[in-house]
Amino acid sequence: MKLYIETLGCAMNTRDSEHMISELQKKEGYELTDSPKEADLILINTCSVREKPERKLFSEIGQFAKLKKPNAKIGICGCTASHMGEQIIKKAPQVDFVLGARNVSKITEVIHKPKAVEVSIDYDDSAYVYDIARNTGVKALLNISIGCDKKCAYCIVPHTRGKEISIPLELLLNEARKLVDNGVKEIMLLGQNVNNYGVRFTSPHPEINFTQLLNQMAKIDGLERIRFTSPHPLHMNDEFLEEFASNPKVCKSIHIPLQSGSSKVLKAMRRGYTKEWYLNRIEKLKSLVPNVGISTDIIVGFPTEEDSDFQDTLDVLEQVRFDTLYSFVYSPRPHTESATWSKDLEVPQNVASQRLAILQNRHKEILKEDSQKELGKEHIVLIENHKQSQNEVFSEGRSDNGRLVRIENEFLSLGSMVRVKIIATNGGSLIGQSV
């Protein structure tokens, strides 16, 4: 039996797909294929955070339905499955089952239940022990919590992934040890608000917070690097920043979603912090870790955003000089607060698109300027990928502070930690040689 799976959206969805793959391999004997034509089961693990990919879903279902084998099944999983539920089957009767983001552990049940719709956002997957995917490489993802308790005005996720539940510490440490035994060197801890870890467990559990979790994880022998995504700026207290700075296994790159640089817009978004708080946390972080790599998410064109608000966002960009920027035009989503607001508060599409272009162009310039400063510096790189062919030899990986470094003409072994000197730049990317 062959499984074809397409994964959209964030790292959480990637992890959910890994879970479904391992369940189907272990319990149902499936093997992965990259051809939907050959598959006996086609899964689309969907994202609903913006409207565009969601619109494309139904044309995709139509295409798969045309080319699939006659008895092959189609399952729609993930965030769009959560919030559209049985409407998906009504709109696309070719779909065999719908499995919400909070229900992935039920994958081996729903494949045997015609027209099953399992989308409850109260379902508790938090103590379910999945098998480890067989093709684990040097890096692995590990969920530390599911769901989200925040109420950001633009965001559909609380509606698709439900209330926040932390996964018990013992389970996490066991999973991490198993991963290390399988050759993993770097673990990425995942959660919608990772640094809110410990907020709620579904069975009795000693009190613990994210700082303590990092500390415990770092004690695992053989685990070289720990990363996490995403922390919320609101929960970045000094204790957390100090642990981030001083724990040698915690990589010095961090994703800190800004969303907007304007305190007025942040308030409308219900983010719970101001421009000043965000900049204060960055200042503290940079004072503790001068070479820290910072990435962020920014939304432009949120309702009520005026030009002066956008200038505040540009001002934060200038002050922080992010290494990586994920930026989006606001997209109204069902079940969110801002989607119910008056049309008068909306920002015209052309204005929002212009702002996005200005933001992205300035970010590219900053990246170029900052890459120049990397020349001659040395980084420890974990080799994650390499190639040796007649025309090309290279190895690549990430520095501790999250920069992608390509080492030309060297074939270094996967999983090795190599000291690399930066000898050239190519736009925002770095080229180095081992020293």
> What are phi and psi for residue 344, nearest 5 degrees?
-60, -25
H helix runs in 122-200, sequence order: 157-161, 169-181
Of positions 2, 5, 9, 356, contacts ligand SF4 by CB under 6 A: 9
Q: Which is nearer to ligand SF4, 43 or 241 (CB)?
A: 43
Rounded Cα gap, residues 224 and 166, in angstroms: 24
Q: Counting contacts by CB under 6 A, is residue 162 touching ligand SF4?
A: no
Site mask, ligand SF4, residues 88-127, x = CB under 6 A? -------------x--------------------------
- Residue (of 262, 19, 231) closest to 126 by Cα position: 19
Of positions 49, 141, 223, 412, contacts ligand SF4 by CB under 6 A: 49
Count of CB atoms within 10 A of residue 229's CB? 20
Of positions 126, 160, 166, 195, contacts ligand SF4 by CB under 6 A: 160
| Minimum distance, C-beta of residue 146 to ligand SF4, in the bound complex (Å) | 10
CB under 5 to 8 A by kind: which of ligand SF4, ligand 5AD, none does 397 bind?
A: none
CB under 5 to 8 A by kind: which of ligand SF4, ligand 5AD, none does 79 bind?
A: ligand SF4
Tell me the residue ranges of DSSP E strands in 191-260. Answer: 225-229, 253-255
By CB under 6 A, how many residues form the interface with ligand SF4?
A: 13
Classify the C-alpha dihedral 194-118-334-44 as positive or negative.
Answer: positive
> What are phi and psi for residue 275, nearest 5 degrees?
-55, -40
Rounded Cα gap, residues 184 and 229, in angstroms: 18
- Residue (of 139, 91, 120) closest to 381 by Cα position: 139
Of positions 48, 336, 338, 371, contacts ligand SF4 by CB under 6 A: 48
To which residue do tokens 């919320």 refer? 232
Q: At a CB cut-off of 8 Å and minimum separation 6, what does 76 contact?
A: 43, 44, 46, 57, 61, 88, 95, 97, 98, 99
| Minimum distance, C-beta of residue 185 to ligand 5AD, in the bound complex (Å) | 27
CB under 5 to 8 A by kind: which of ligand SF4, ligand 5AD, none does 333 bind?
A: ligand 5AD
Q: Which is nearer to ligand SF4, 161 or 225 (CB)?
A: 161
- Residue (of 387, 13, 365, 359) closest to 190 by Cα position: 13
Of positions 88, 104, 117, 157, contacts ligand SF4 by CB under 6 A: 157
CB under 5 to 8 A by kind: which of ligand 5AD, ligand SF4, none does 9 bind?
A: ligand SF4
Q: Which is nearer to ligand 5AD, 278 or 330 (CB)?
A: 330
| Minimum distance, C-beta of residue 341 to ligand 5AD, in the bound complex (Å) | 12
383, 377 contact by CB (below 8 A): no
Q: Is 251 annotated as a binding residue?
A: no
Q: Which is nearer to ligand SF4, 58 or 394 (CB)?
A: 58
To which residue do tokens 């790599």 refer? 293
Contact residues: ligand 5AD, CB under 6 A = 49-50, 154-155, 257, 259, 297, 299, 328, 330-331, 333
Q: Is 77 annotated as a binding residue?
A: no
Q: Counting contacts by CB under 6 A, is residue 79 touching ligand SF4?
A: yes
Annotated binding site for [4Fe-4S] cluster: 10, 47, 79, 148, 152, 155
Q: Which residues bind ligand SF4 (CB under 6 A)?
A: 9-10, 12-13, 47-49, 78-79, 101, 157, 160-161
